[in-house]
Amino acid sequence: MTGEARRGVRVPGGRVALSTSSVYPVGVVGAFDLAERLGYDGIEVMIWTDPVSQEAGALSNLVDHYGLPVVSIHAPTLLLTQRIWGTEPWDKVDNSIELAEQVGAETVVVHPPFRWQREYADGFVEGIRARGDETDVRIAVENMFPWRARQREMQAYLPGWDPVEQDYRHVTLDLSHTATAGADALAMQEALGDRLAHVHLADGSGSFKDEHLVPGRGTQPCAEFLERLAGDGYTGDIVLEVGTRKLTADQREVDLAEALAFARLHFAAAPG
C-alpha cells in the first residue's frame, strides 16, 4: 500500500504501525496478532512490565512468526514505568537503543525528563545528541503537555514539553498530546520540518486528560495533518497509539480497524 500512485493519489513510503500500548492490558503477543489480522505494517513496542517487551529474542521470534517488523521502541520513560530497567534514566535510554538495534527497529521514542529529574534534565539535550552520533537508530523526543488540575498548571517536564523549542535532531509528534497541551499541531508540524521523524497518531478533545482517541473522534486536525505529511513525501512511521483499555476484545478490534482505515485514507496526496 505504501510508496504507490493509484487512482489520482500518491501514497508515500511511510509505514502505518500499531503501538502495543493500543491493546493494553493485552500483551505484546496479542498486539502482533491483532496488527497482522487488521493489516498494519508493523509494531511499536512500548517497554512495559510484559517481559516479552523487554527481550530481543522473544520479539525477534514474533517478527518472524507474524511477518511484521518492530519499527520502533518506546523507552520506559513514562511515570508508570519508572522502575523498569532500574531507576537510572540514561540506562533506560541506552537499553532501549540496544534493544532497537537488536530487533532492527529504526526509532527509539523517549519522553523529556520530569522536572524532578534535574541531573538527567541538565544534560538531556546534549546526551540525546551524543547518543544519536553513536547509533543509526533515530532517538526521537516526544512532545508532551503541561499538567493541569483545579485551574492550575504545572510545567512537569524539563527542559520543556515542547520539542520545537529544543535542539533535538529527531522528534516524535503525538496528536493526543497536542490536544491536551492546547497546542497547534499543524504549526508544530510546519516548525519541525525535517526534524519530524515519527508520529503517534491519535485524537483528543482538548481535555486535561491525555485521551488517545481514535483519529477523527476529537478536535485535532488529524486528516489535514496526514495529508500534509503525504504531500511532503514523509517516509517515517505513523504509529496508532489509541486507548482501548476499557473496551471488550471485539470493540478494541473495531476501533483499531477504524483507526487504520482513517490513516490509510488520509495519508495520501495529489500527484506532484
Q: How confident is the model at residue 147 (pLDDT cuts 50, 70, 90)?
A: confident
Q: For the ranges 72-81, 102-111, 233-242, which has the lowest average pLDDT?
A: 72-81
Helices (H), the chain: 28-38, 56-66, 89-103, 118-122, 124-132, 175-181, 185-192, 222-231, 249-266
Share of residues in the chain with pLDDT > 90 (%): 85
Q: For the ranges 59-68, 71-80, 92-101, which has the lowest average pLDDT?
A: 71-80
Instruction: Give me 73's grid cell.
Output: 521502541
- CATH fold, domain 12-262, is TIM Barrel (3.20.20)
Mean pLDDT within 119-131: 97
pLDDT score of 10: 81
Rounded CA separation 257/253 (Å): 6
Question: What is the crossing angle of helices 28-38 and 249-266, to 10°?
Answer: 50
With a cut of 50, say whether residue 158 has pLDDT above it. Answer: yes
Element holding 200 (H helix, E strand): strand 196-201
With a cut of 50, say whether residue 73 has pLDDT above it. Answer: yes
Mean pLDDT within 244-253: 97
What is the widest separation between alpha-carbon atoms in the chain?
54
pLDDT score of 154: 74
| Integer angstrom CA distances of residue 167 from 130, 135, 162, 185, 247 | 12, 18, 11, 19, 39
For 191-212, how does the pLDDT look when each residue is reduced to its tens digit (9 = 90+)?
Answer: 999 999 999 999 999 888 899 9
pLDDT score of 2: 47
* Mean pLDDT rounded to a whole number for the chain: 94
DSSP, collapsed to helix, strand or coil, labels residue 43 as strand
DSSP, collapsed to helix, strand or coil, labels residue 255 as helix
Question: What is the crossing angle of helices 89-103 and 124-132, to 10°?
Answer: 20
User: Measured at the alpha carbon of residue 186, what is the angle toward residues 237 and 10, in degrees to the nearest 5?
Assistant: 50
- HEC string of 5-41 equals EECCEEECCCCEEEEHHHHCCCCHHHHHHHHHHHCCC
| Integer angstrom CA distances of residue 146 from 143, 154, 161, 240 | 10, 6, 7, 22
pLDDT score of 1: 45
> What is residue 142's DSSP assignment?
E
pLDDT score of 219: 97
- pTM here is 0.94
With a cut of 90, say whether residue 239 has pLDDT above it. Answer: yes
With a cut of 90, say whether residue 255 has pLDDT above it. Answer: yes
